[in-house]
Amino acid sequence: MLDYDKEAERYDASRGGEPRAAAAAAAVLSLVPPDARGLLDVACGTGIVTRRLAAARAGMRVTGVDLAPAMARQAAARLPGAVVLADSRRLPFRDGEFDAVCSVWLLHLAAGPADVRTIVGECARVLRSGGVYVTTVDKAASHNVGSDIDVVLSSRPPSPVRDAAADVESYAADHGLVPAGQARFRGHGQGRSPRRTVADLRRGWFVTLPPGHPLADGFATRLAELPDQDRPRPDPFFTLRAFRKP
């Protein structure tokens, strides 16, 4: 897994910047009730999406939480006084404190199913009755857009899928949450080029092909042989699922 403290400085620029953040925030807000007065953004990262959530609704108080100090510092610069350094498995908030909770691009990073259950459970715990939890699902699958790069990478060792939609729905049900809608948004600027994919491979982007893995050089060679080395392939589209607490 990437070190998100080291990744913080380049995170926004390498992942679509403001256009992607705008798309993510708009999709999240499309699933958040208009009367929500308090929203918690779990794993808020650099706060690039969190800031847009706060700016979009003047009457809604938005709080961000992240585990990586470097990420949280950047988020705090964007939202002074509204960012907390904490683990999503042990949220430092009261039961029922928020009208809405979101976790964008988080569950796929969990160490295993038990951690996903715990994160979903914590999000449900701090959600008030009638509130909504919104989260991304099936993130890895979203990146497969059917390109020539995906064909090359299709034979790499598979990664465990922590955020499969059916599993997340099951975990949500275990904590009393019921399905409440879904949305999709474009990952602007995340369409991969062969050269960029090789660079990502070299720095450990792909969990099952870490730097130094015996197969990594072979994949890098095949990617380097593809045409149009600097042409981005199509952007991915990410999926959000919403769950309501009765």
pLDDT digits (tens, 9 = 90+) for 91-144: 999 999 999 999 999 999 999 999 999 999 999 999 999 999 999 999 999 999
In a domain, 223, yes or no: no
In a domain, 87, yes or no: yes
Give the model's pLDDT for residue 158. 87
In a domain, 212, yes or no: no
Structure tokens at 153: 């990478």
In a domain, 13, yes or no: yes
Cα 79 from Cα 110, distance rounded (Å): 26
Give the model's pLDDT for residue 9. 66
List the CATH number of the domain containing 75: 3.40.50.150
In a domain, 154, yes or no: no
Three-state DSSP at 214 gives coil
Tens digit of pLDDT at every position of the chain (246 positions): 556 656 656 665 556 578 999 999 999 999 999 999 999 999 999 999 999 999 999 999 999 999 999 999 999 999 999 999 999 999 999 999 999 999 999 999 999 999 999 999 999 999 999 999 999 999 999 999 999 999 999 999 988 999 999 999 999 999 999 999 999 999 999 999 999 999 989 888 888 888 888 899 999 999 999 999 999 999 999 999 999 999
Cα 25 from Cα 14, distance rounded (Å): 18
In a domain, 153, yes or no: no
pTM for the whole structure: 0.92
Give the model's pLDDT for residue 206. 85
Give me the domain span that covers residue 18.
4-144+160-191+235-245
Residues 156, 103: contact at Cβ < 8 Å?
Answer: no
In a domain, 40, yes or no: yes
Q: What is the DSSP letter of 106?
A: -
Sheet holding 83-85, edge to edge: 83-85, 61-66, 38-42, 98-103, 127-137, 237-244, 178-186
Give the model's pLDDT for residue 138. 97
Give the model's pLDDT for residue 235. 96
In a domain, 221, yes or no: no
Count of domains observed in the chain = 1
